[in-house]
């Protein structure tokens, strides 16, 4: 079956609360140096879905080695903040978005996890209810991706171009070649998505930007493509990424798919495994100067295989 698409307003708030029942929900916001925006994201979610409507049980920010006031701002806005480096430090260091989402499994208790990026500028609190709708009303759905119009903003806040360059040049071609059952996804790398803990805790998780495409491929492999849904949330803007920062992202997306084809980095090697060097070039007075970047391709093991995982989450509860 093709990936199902949900449009329109979705369930009403009373219907959503009724469908929630005893299901617990954790909203997780991974953040690194996002003091300018993380407070508004946290405050918006808290006001709408913790204080006004009791839909969200936990609101957590995972701070990934920020050098600014991200943690302080997020905490003041009402989030519980965990430093990624302080969660399971005995497993060794890693840095990246996937690392933050994997660490969230160990410090939250929700049956369903909703992930929101911390750099959102134009968005709405309906992102949370929209992503939760299919998961709370259809037990066959395991993972929900956001769909939205996605203009990018330049450094002055002006619309620069349509977002999704890594999606169009890397992720979508990969899905067309290797996972056509997922080709119906409009934005496979959307940073706003929701997943059942019972699925995500069973997946190997790339520590970097491969986390989103890996979760999609793993969900389809485990439960079928019809366990994936997408929801049209309208419009979303975030800060513009320099084109040269997209190269490492693209490498990590490629590596995640390659690993799942059995010809990439060995996920079982853990954080000590998989790295590569991406060499980019910059024109200088001396000519084209190479700028090598180390790209981490390692993956964390399924959370359920980590000693003490069940005990840890029960204790948090």
- Find the range with the poorest average confidence among 93-97, 255-259, 264-268, 304-308: 264-268
Q: Say yes or no to pLDDT of 97 above 60.
A: yes
Query: What percent of the chain has a predicted confidence (pLDDT) above 90?
Result: 74
pLDDT of res. 163: 47
Token pair listed for 29: 């916001």
**DSSP strand pairing (58-63 vs 80-83):** parallel
Q: What is the mean pLDDT of residues 136-149?
A: 95
CB burial class (10 A; 0-12, 13-18, 19+) of residue 22?
Answer: exposed
Greatest CA span in the chain, whole angstroms? 66
Which residue has 């986390």 as its token pair? 211
Highest mean pLDDT range out of 21-30, 115-124, 145-154, 285-294?
A: 21-30
Report which secondary-structure segment, H or E, holds 291. Answer: strand 287-296
Q: What is the mean pLDDT of residues 285-289?
A: 90
CB burial class (10 A; 0-12, 13-18, 19+) of residue 154?
Answer: exposed
Residues in the chain: 317
pLDDT of res. 240: 53
User: Distance between terminal CA atoms of the chain?
Assistant: 37
pLDDT tier for residue 310 given thresholds of 50, 70 and 90: confident
pLDDT of res. 113: 98
Detail the DSSP E strand segments found in 70-165: 80-83, 112-115, 120-122, 143-149, 151-153, 159-162
Q: What is the mean pLDDT of residues 216-231?
A: 96
Token pair listed for 86: 């302080």
pLDDT of res. 269: 41
Q: Where are the alpha helices (DSSP H) in 148-272?
A: 165-166, 172-178, 197-200, 211-223, 246-260
Q: Say yes or no to pLDDT of 289 above 50.
A: yes
Token pair listed for 22: 């005893």
Q: Say yes or no to pLDDT of 157 above 60.
A: no
- pLDDT tens digits for 232-277? 998 876 555 566 678 999 999 999 999 999 865 544 444 445 889 9
Looking at the domain 4-242+307-316, which fold is it?
Answer: Spore Coat Polysaccharide Biosynthesis Protein SpsA; Chain A (3.90.550)
- pLDDT tens digits for 160-171? 555 478 999 999
Q: Say yes or no to pLDDT of 93 above 80.
A: yes
Instruction: Give the predicted TM-score (pTM) of the model.
Output: 0.90
Q: Say yes or no to pLDDT of 127 above 80.
A: yes
pLDDT tier for residue 149 given thresholds of 50, 70 and 90: confident
Cα dist from 140 to 96, 224, 304, whole Å: 30, 10, 21
Query: What percent of the chain has a predicted confidence (pLDDT) above 70?
Result: 86
Q: What is the mean pLDDT of residues 274-302?
A: 91
Q: When comparing pLDDT for 306 and 315, which is higher? A: 306
pLDDT of res. 272: 40
pLDDT tier for residue 298 given thresholds of 50, 70 and 90: very high
């Amino acid at each position: 079956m093709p990936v199902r698409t949900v449009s329109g307003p979705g369930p009403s708030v009373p219907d959503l609360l009724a469908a929630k029942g005893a299901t617990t929900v954790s909203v997780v916001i991974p953040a690194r140096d996002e003091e300018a925006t993380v407070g508004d994201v946290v405050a918006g979610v808290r006001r709408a879905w913790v204080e006004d409507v009791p839909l969200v049980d936990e609101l957590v920010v995972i701070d990934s080695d920020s050098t600014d006031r991200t943690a302080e701002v997020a905490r003041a806005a009402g989030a519980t903040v965990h430093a990624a480096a302080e969660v399971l430090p005995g497993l060794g260091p890693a840095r990246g978005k996937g690392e933050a989402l994997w660490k969230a499994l160990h410090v939250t208790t929700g049956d369903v996890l909703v992930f929101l990026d911390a750099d959102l500028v134009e968005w709405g609190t309906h992102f949370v209810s929209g992503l939760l709708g299919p998961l709370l009303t259809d037990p066959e759905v395991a993972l929900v991706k956001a769909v939205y119009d996605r203009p990018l903003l330049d450094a002055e806040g002006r619309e620069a171009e349509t977002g999704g360059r890594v999606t169009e040049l890397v992720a979508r071609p990969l899905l067309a070649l290797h996972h056509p059952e997922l080709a119906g996804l409009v934005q496979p790398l959307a940073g706003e998505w929701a997943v059942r803990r019972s699925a995500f805790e069973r997946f190997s998780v790339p520590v970097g930007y491969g986390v989103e495409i890996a979760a999609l491929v793993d969900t389809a492999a485990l439960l079928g493509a019809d366990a994936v849904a997408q929801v049209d949330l309208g419009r979303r803007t975030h800060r513009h990424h320099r084109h040269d920062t997209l190269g490492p992202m693209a490498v990590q997306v490629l590596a995640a798919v390659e690993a799942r084809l059995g010809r990439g980095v060995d996920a079982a090697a853990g954080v000590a495994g998989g790295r590569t060097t991406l060499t980019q070039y910059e024109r200088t007075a001396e000519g084209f100067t190479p700028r090598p970047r180390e790209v981490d391709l390692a993956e964390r093991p399924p959370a359920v295989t980590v000693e003490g995982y069940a005990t840890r989450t029960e204790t948090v509860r």
